[in-house]
Structure 1
Amino acid sequence: MRIHQIFFNIFILLCLINLNINIDVATCHCLDHQQFMLLHLKDNLVFNPATSKKLVHWNHSGNCCQWNGVTCSMGHVIGLDLSEEFISGGLNNSSLFKLKYLQNLNPAYNDFNSSIPLEFDKLKSLRCLNFSNAGFHGQIPAQRWGLFYWQHVDDLLYMLVPQFGFVYEQHRGQRYRALRWIV
């Protein structure tokens, strides 16, 4: 009877290991259309390959969820760190705005030297955004973007936020305290 228990425990252990491996593969493998959008984004960004530490390594081979600067969940891109890639130019008409599961975006320390794209409102899952020294200028359309849903918005001090006082007062005391950092 004891031998049956040992074999049963080994069987359960092997099943759990197999299940764990299958879950890991499902959550870590980049979906083809996600990889296509990232490569399209890369192709439309102006950056210096000699100074790039992330974008220069993005290519058709390999799993995009393992690329430097990319975070995935269930094969969908949920995080994108483009910081310090010395990107110049804008983000307009970019496949970036088709990454509908994107939650965290860090375009900090680049030189976009453009107005803030209105297409940011397409990123409905976006919760964290770091604009520090990204080179964007102009107004943030707070109502259009739904800023009060964001959990963290970094370094927007030099940008004007229309109706900011109203948005903040409406949501003060709730989990949207990060808005206090916007002036």
Structure 2
Amino acid sequence: MFQTFASFYDKSNSVTLFVLLVLSLYFISVNWIFFYRFFSLNQWISTENKSLESLLLGSQKIPDYAYLKHFVASSSHFSSSLFDMASYAATKEATKGLMFLSVVASTTPFIGLFGTVVSILDTFKHIGGANGTMSIIASGVSDALVATASGIFVAIFAYTYHQILKRRAYELSGLIRMQGDALLSKEK
């Protein structure tokens, strides 16, 4: 395995290696953002579920641990616009990091393709100086395609993570809206 990597490193263009380094850093960042946001959103959703259950079981006030508590404490009466503002604020907080995941998902295939094109150009340059056999061409092209495959690989994870976090943020926003509706219905 190490010998294969060393052989790839020796044959690859510096631009291709830089592209693979960038894609590796993106992959690490994408995974870190996803797992950090996923676990924090799950905790937040769990808290808001408990708050909603409390309200549905007859509690007349919002629990202290609920996100809505901050908004209710600053207002003398409940209103639909107050709860809409709370829902928008929660959505804004819950969707942090999604833009980065979206950008990575849409750009990494192009970054990988750039690395592939540069590597193929380098292969053609070497073919011109030597007796170009099919094995040289095949070897150069197969090494070049590693960058494209890496770009697509990172994009798949970034897009999937983006969709999962977006769905969790939507679920959280819905829980906060339901709590607001429950409080408004008790006030009437």
Give the structure-2-normalised TM-score. Answer: 0.27
Q: Whose radius of gyration is greater, 1 or 2?
A: 2
Give the structure-1-normalised TM-score. Answer: 0.28
Q: Which has the higher helix share?
A: 2
Q: Which has the higher strand share?
A: 1
Higher relative contact order (CA 8 A, sep 6+): 2
